[in-house]
Amino acid sequence: MYPKTVQNLIEIFSKFPTIGPRTAARIVFYLMRAPEKEIQELLNSISSLKKKVKTCSFCFNPFEGEEKLCPICRDPSRDKNLICIVEKEVDLVALEKTKKYKGIYFILGGTVSKLRKEDIKKLRIKELEERIKNPKEFGIENSGFKEIIIATNFTTEGEATARYLEKILKPFEIKITRLGRGLPVGAELEYADEETIESALEERK
């Protein structure tokens, strides 16, 4: 129904998170009307994304720079014995906005709904275990982790992932905590207000 180039681009945009085919179509028609300058800016920004932005060798937080570690992992004032596991980059940013958390992070890269092998493979489980076991190898100098905060979202998937993480982290014999129930059931960190996140951090147990 649409011209081939349009249809092709609609299919690409439909793969983007939260974007369905209808929104994808609207985006394509928006781009068709957008001035050439805006299109060029978009193309340049996408191209430079993978060139300029890299992920931290320890926590997988994206950053720009020559270093191996992100600014958080490099920060000498952060407590390197405290690690917080989050699902996604946006969750890390949500926690950072509270300015209350002083440890380091680990970005898991998603959640699993059913604990099927192919789903779990998409998460950075092996990477997490390696970093808990031997942080120095990945650039973090500490005296051993004292506490692991599992800060997955309080969704069905987040809860299932948290239970799975608790199970695989148990052998390390490190104190494992979860964010306090200041967050309402079904809430996602990304959409929670700072105050709620702050109290959830304080109430962790």
Told to check if 184 binds its own copies by CB under 8 A, we report no
Q: CA-to-CA distance for 36 and 50, rounded, in angstroms? A: 23
Told to check if 75 binds its own copies by CB under 8 A, we report no
Q: Which stretch binds its own copies (CB under 8 A): 3-11, 168-176, 178-186, 193-201?
A: 3-11
Residue at 51: amino acid letter: K
Told to check if 93 binds its own copies by CB under 8 A, we report yes
Site mask, its own copies, residues 32-71, x = CB under 8 A? xx--x-xx-xxx-xxxxxx-xx-x------xxx-------
Q: Which stretch binds its own copies (CB under 8 A): 1-9, 112-120, 153-161, 193-201?
A: 1-9
Told to check if 27 binds its own copies by CB under 8 A, we report yes
Beta bridge partners of 82: 147
Q: How do 147-150 and 79-86 pair as beta strands?
A: parallel
Q: CA-to-CA distance for 9 and 130, rounded, in angstroms? A: 39
One residue of 73, 85, 86, 88 binding its own copies per CB under 8 A: 88
One residue of 37, 59, 83, 96 binding its own copies per CB under 8 A: 96
What are the residues whose beta carbons fall under 8 Å from the beta carbon of 58, sequence distance 6 or more? 69, 70, 73, 104, 106, 131, 135, 138, 139, 140
